[in-house]
Amino acid sequence: MTIKNFKDFDEYVKFTRYVCEKHGWEKDWSRGGCYIHLEVSEFIEAVRGKGDPIDELGDVLFTLIAVADYYNVDPVEALNWSVSKHEELLKKLKE
């Protein structure tokens, strides 16, 4: 299965919710924050040659999306905001 199997990003967010619920993974701040820290640390180690960076980045993204969803922070809205913010910076660079 790949991201292409989902009709849109919202469907992927629902999938992360389902996976976390099925496995009993808690996403409250005390646990969710730890998960984010752990996954980012594993990604950094992988980039340094001690693992698979693609696998670890996937875990980072999955965890961020799951924790954001738990706190009702819409990952799609956050990405759209980020793109808009960077789009404005690109326009300023071209001026």
Residue 43 near residue 57, CB atoms below 8 Å: yes
Pairwise CA distance, residues 56 & 41, whole Å: 9
Pairwise CA distance, residues 46 & 23, whole Å: 25
Residues 23-58 pLDDT 10s: 888 777 566 678 888 899 999 999 999 999 999 999
Instruction: Give 10's contacts (C-beta < 8 A, 6+ positions apart).
Output: 76
Residue 37 near residue 60, CB atoms below 8 Å: no
What's this model's pTM, rounded to 2 decimal places? 0.77
Parent domain of 50? 8-94
| CATH code for the domain in which residue 36 is found | 1.10.287.1080
Considering the domain boundaries, does residue 69 fall inside one?
yes
Give how many domains the chain has, as a whole number: 1
* Structure letter (DSSP) for residue 25: -
Choose the weakest-confidence range: 27-31, 74-78, 81-85: 27-31
Mean pLDDT of 60-78: 89
